[in-house]
Amino acid sequence: MILRTVVLTLAALALSACGREEPPKPADPGTKVEQAARQLGQAAREGDVGKAGEAFKQMGEALSGSVKVEPVDFRQLRDFLPAKLAGMRRVNAEGSRTSVMGVSVSKAEARYEDGRGGRIDLEVTDAGTLTGVAALALAWVDVEIDKEGDSGYERTTTVGGRKAYERYDRATRTGELDVLAAGRFIVGAKATGVDMKVFKEAVTKLDLAGLEALKDRGVPPAGK
């Protein structure tokens, strides 16, 4: 699933930044994080441990200077995990908060089963302080993907006007759908033994608008 911990976020951010060339930007905290990610990616390609350590240090300094956004409590995120999904009963739900390098991320997740081998794993993550740069960790946000073969497909799409990325394997009836809401919340769903049409329709019925309504939660007032 997308963004399981902030550590994976930073790693994905570094990978997605590899090879990207952009014009100079003002040295704001978000830009510094992106620059550090590029340096980390370069160090990884060169196998230079020293450069990688320095890049992580710079990333930490950039994050420490950024605006601290308190993530939505995972207990509240759990409210966006319905009791039933695609006709399946929720069999468990849990949440967590992870803090790394002064950055906190919250997450709620649930599993749904139909008792016949069908299963959906649903996850809602609040990127917190990484809001604004979280999209950099999602390689599909700024690209268009449309691939299809006999076994399945993958494509970028939209869910209620929100950028999304879906993949499906017909042979195994497994699929994934990730949705970015308000540039802050990442909804990730993974299905096994479920037709993609049924799976996708279930995700579109989630209260994504209600989730987006929390986009300013935990954001400090201007000037703070």
**Are 100 and 183 in a shared domain?**
yes
**Are 78 and 53 in a shared domain?**
no
**Are 102 and 165 in a shared domain?**
yes
**Are 132 and 28 in a shared domain?**
no
- Boundaries of domain holding 59: 6-64
**Are 80 and 59 in a shared domain?**
no
Q: In the listed set 23, 39, 64, which residue is the last one of a domain according to the structure?
A: 64
Reference 209, options 177, 144, 161, 173; nearest CA is: 161
In a domain, 49, yes or no: yes
> 44: which residues sit within 8 A by CB, 6+ positions away?
14, 15, 18, 52
Residue 18 has pLDDT above 50, yes or no: no
What's the total number of domains in the chain? 2
Q: Contacts by 58-65 with C-beta closer than 8 Å and gap 24+? A: 58/32, 59/10, 59/32, 59/33, 59/101, 60/101, 60/102, 61/32, 62/29, 62/30, 62/32, 62/33, 62/35, 62/36, 63/29, 63/33, 63/101, 63/102, 63/103, 63/129, 64/101, 64/102, 65/29, 65/32
Measured on CA atoms in the order 203, 204, 205, 210, is the torsion positive or negative?
A: positive
pLDDT at 51: 74
Q: How far is CA 78 from CA 48, 106, 175, 187, 198, in A?
A: 41, 10, 22, 12, 22
Measured on CA atoms in the order 48, 49, 50, 52, is the torsion positive or negative?
A: positive
Q: How far is CA 109 from CA 10, 50, 81, 162, in A?
A: 21, 37, 7, 20
**Are 182 and 96 in a shared domain?**
yes
CA 168 – CA 152 distance, rounded (Å):
5
- Over residues 164-216, the pLDDT tens digits come to 999 999 999 999 999 999 888 999 999 999 999 998 999 999 999 999 999 98
pLDDT at 175: 95
What's the CATH code of the domain at 111? 3.40.1000
**Are 58 and 109 in a shared domain?**
no
**Are 59 and 96 in a shared domain?**
no
Amino acid at 174: T
Report the relative pairing of strands 119-126 and 146-148 from DSSP bridges: unpaired
**Are 40 and 110 in a shared domain?**
no
Write down the mean pLDDT value for the chain.
78
In a domain, 181, yes or no: yes
Q: In the listed set 64, 86, 109, which residue is the last one of a domain according to the structure?
A: 64
In a domain, 218, yes or no: no
- Over residues 115-173, the pLDDT tens digits come to 999 999 999 999 876 655 555 556 677 789 999 999 999 999 999 999 999 999 999 99
**Are 58 and 83 in a shared domain?**
no
> 102: which residues sit within 8 A by CB, 6+ positions away?
60, 63, 64, 68, 129
- DSSP assignment of 88-110 equals EEEEEEEEEEEEETTEEEEEEEE
pLDDT at 20: 43
**Are 126 and 147 in a shared domain?**
yes
- Do the beta carbons of residue 80 and residue 108 sit within 8 Å? yes
pLDDT at 153: 96
In a domain, 223, yes or no: no
Question: What is the phi/psi pair of residue 23, to 5°?
Answer: -65, 160
In a domain, 220, yes or no: no
**Are 146 and 171 in a shared domain?**
yes
pTM tops 0.75: no
In a domain, 117, yes or no: yes
Q: In the listed set 64, 97, 113, which residue is the last one of a domain according to the structure?
A: 64
- Over residues 19-40, the pLDDT tens digits come to 444 444 444 445 565 566 667 6
